[in-house]
Amino acid sequence: MGSTGKAAGFPRRFGKYTLLSHLATGGMADVFLARQLGPGGFQKECVIKRVLPQLAQDPSNQAFVEMFLQEARIAARLSHPNIVHILDFGQIDGDYFLAMEHVDGVTLESVLEKTRAMGQPALPWPIAVRIVSNAAEGLDHAHKAKDSSGNPLLLVHRDVSPSNVMVSWDGVAKVLDFGIAKAMSMSVSGAKVRTGIGIIKGKVPYMSPEQIQGLDLDARSDVFSLAAVLYELTTGQRPFPGETTGKLTLEITSREPRPPEQLNPAFPPDLHPILMRGLAKSVDKRYQSARDFKVDLEQFLADQHSSCSNYDVEAYLKELMPPDERPRPELPSADEIARLEADAAPRTPTRRSDGAIAPLSSVADGPAESDAAESAAPAPSQSTPSALASGTAIDALEAEERRRQRDSGGGKMVMVAIGLLVIGTAVGFFVLHKRALERQSVGTPTTSPASLSPPPSSPSTPATAAPGPTGSATSASAPATADGKPEPASPKPSQPEAIKPTEAHAVEKTADPPSEAAAPRPTDKPEAAKPAAKPTKKVKKTEEAGRPSLALPPPPPADPE
């Protein structure tokens, strides 16, 4: 803020706020620079506007207090870059207050005073038009604000003046004091005009004619007041001069302001019709909204080929008020502020060296008792689940996180085991299926070279020799006796005749098959019609086991001589 504060008696507590310095005293409130504390080291600077005790405690002003609270609730809905935000409102120790955004800057009234002190008649007209254009944008947002149901609030500021327009050091203009101004203006319209504490002192020069007469107000009243501010910024004088309230009332309601060119030769002629339309006494001839006023001001800057922006306002303020010469409130020392806030801060438990949480009582009793409590605490190895249950939420969260990690690890092992089980089951089924196919292939007769060969004879019966070129096998293999006669052959079991090659394809006969599995099954169709299956090792082994080895002819008898 712009005023230099008093450090005496500060800092001091005001509810959840720490009052750092007194900034100003108005007709209805004291203004303080404050700081709000929050958990986790949260800090935020703000401005506390506290209603004067004599106004809040006077029973005749209860309607004023109620109206102040109602308008504060309405103003708290406003949120715009060109409006000072209301952060909080209520009552602390019987004092009604508003907590507002702290704008690191200066009021427009202080800018005018500094300009006059430097011998300049007025602000440069591009700077003045830019500041008023920003303020008009903020006012238009307030005029069009709606409640949660979508109904228009019909909010009117009623106290637009240089003291209620803040300009931050980065060149942004912000309108402040919504709500309080309406409550104050209602006191004026109710014929409660007082000059002692100055409820309307310094404000009448910027009032609209309908506001002076106590008529119903709308957004056009604020447009008139903002045009009066622009007149003063560009000419260095108010549009309606007067030393008393009566003279001011007469000037505002019945007389036209002096042409601005007469007060400032550098005043641009194209700005004259815009300014006069904003100061029209008839609401019908005036700008119907702050937006219309802003649009014409922006068009004027474009026509003048002036690209004045917030950066230009920032540069102008830096030239007008260098950083080392800017007014700063007197603040108490950082140690005093920290000591006061430490006493007011809530006590929180601290963590001991073993990881446990020290109780609040040990923290409040001091270091000695805290050390004693720590020595009496069980060692980490003696910690039990009950000790964990008595810990803080942080310990519980850590334990829960560890449990989740263990559960997730066990879940992974279970998933791996299930996967291995599924794979093993699939392999087992595959092996069983393969064996079943092998058994089926063994039991099914196949066409092979072994089936086309003569059936093997019994192992105990010598095979019949094939006939030679000179004789039969019987004469060649029969033994002879001593007298030269052939020895009669011993009786032999009947043997099946050898299958001729032509009959091998029609019928297959085997003598004394070695096993039931190797015996061929009779079929309706010849074996040659069936597709030959690939013989397996087991089939070969079975056929070899069923085929007898060729019997050799017995040796001739020895000569008795």
Active centre residues (catalytic)? 159
CA distance 23 to 225: 25
CA torsion sign for 119, 122, 127, 130 is: positive
CA distance 42 to 395: 24
Residue 18 β-bridge partners: 13, 35
Q: How far apart are the first and last CA of the chain?
A: 156
Q: In what order do the strands lie in the sheet with 95-101?
A: 12-14, 17-25, 29-38, 42-51, 95-101, 86-92
Q: Which position has the token pair 């449990």?
A: 403
The phi, psi pair for 215, rounded to 5°, reads: -90, 175
* Strand pairing category for 165-168 and 42-51: unpaired
Q: Closest by alpha carbon to 98, among 34, 146, 157? A: 34
Long-range pairs, 522-531, Cβ under 8 A, ≥24: 523/445, 527/445, 527/447, 527/451, 528/447, 530/445, 530/446, 530/447
- Peptide bond just before 11 cis, omega within 30 deg: yes
Phi and psi based region of residue 494 (left: phi greater than 0; alpha: psi -120 to 50; beta: remaining): beta
CA distance 357 to 348: 10
3-state SS of 260-289?
Answer: HHHHCCCCCHHHHHHHHHHCCCCCCCCCCC
Three-state SS at 204: helix
35-48 burial, b at 16+ Cβ within 10 Å, e below that, comes to bbbeeeeeeeebbb
Q: Closest by alpha carbon to 131, among 265, 232, 23? A: 232
Do residues 96 and 64 touch, judged by C-beta distance below 8 A? Answer: no
Do residues 33 and 1 touch, judged by C-beta distance below 8 A? Answer: yes
* Strand pairing category for 29-38 and 17-25: antiparallel
Which residues touch 326 (CB under 8 Å, ≥6 apart)? 106, 169
The phi, psi pair for 53, rounded to 5°, reads: -60, -40
Which residues touch 240 (CB under 8 Å, ≥6 apart)? 205, 228, 248, 251, 252, 255, 257
